[in-house]
Copies of this chain bind each other. A is one copy, B any other.
Amino acid sequence: MRLTTKGRYAVTAMLDLALHSEQGPVSLADISARQGISLSYLEQLFARLRHFKLVKSVRGPGGGYRLEGDTANISVAQVVDAVSESLDATRCEGKGNCHEGEVCLTHHLWEDLSAQIHRFLSEITLADLVARNDIQAVRQRQDIRLANSHHDETHIAISEIL
């Protein structure tokens, strides 16, 4: 469980997707416009999200991405895990080449911590985030703004509101 801005971008994008999933598939271009994340970067992130079965793609015009399954079944932990490597950084790498059969200790300890953080983030779902009224308030502002301005260059990104 690595915790960097990359995971944060992914959570933001997934939240945006959750907020707009009612009106059919959401294009990455729209997410890019609303959240201020580059399109190509989103493509990379969504390739992994798709691979982990968190989203489903619809190709062609009017296409985009849909959440795979219900928002209540997608946790923040899943999203973060999908886009970020798990951190090992040990000489042994779980292969058991720790000295003389003695199993790793610092390793276990850290994985312990890591597992607990993971458990914690597993209990927060996209549905929980969507239910927050501060999020709902922003959603509306963003929608209006995107509708008004396909020529306008000012946006309110969710990240500017979180």
Interface of A is mostly: helix
**Interface range for A:** 35 or more
Complex Cα–Cα for A113 and B79 (A)? 14
Knowing A2-B3, A3-B1, A102-B141 touch, does A160 contact B90 (C-beta < 8 A)? yes
Q: Are B91 and A135 in contact (CB under 8 A)?
A: no
Which residue of B is nearest A132, CB measured? B109
**Which A residues lie at the B interface, using CB under 8 A?**
1-5, 8-9, 11-12, 15, 35-36, 76, 87, 89-92, 98-99, 102-111, 113-114, 116-117, 120-121, 124, 129, 132, 134-135, 137-138, 141, 154-162
Residues of chain B within 8 A (CB-CB) of A137 are 105
With beta carbons under 8 angstroms apart, the residue of B99, B108, B135 that contacts A162 is B108
Which residue of B is nearest A76, CB measured? B113
Knowing A76-B113, A156-B99 touch, does A89 contact B5 (C-beta < 8 A)? yes
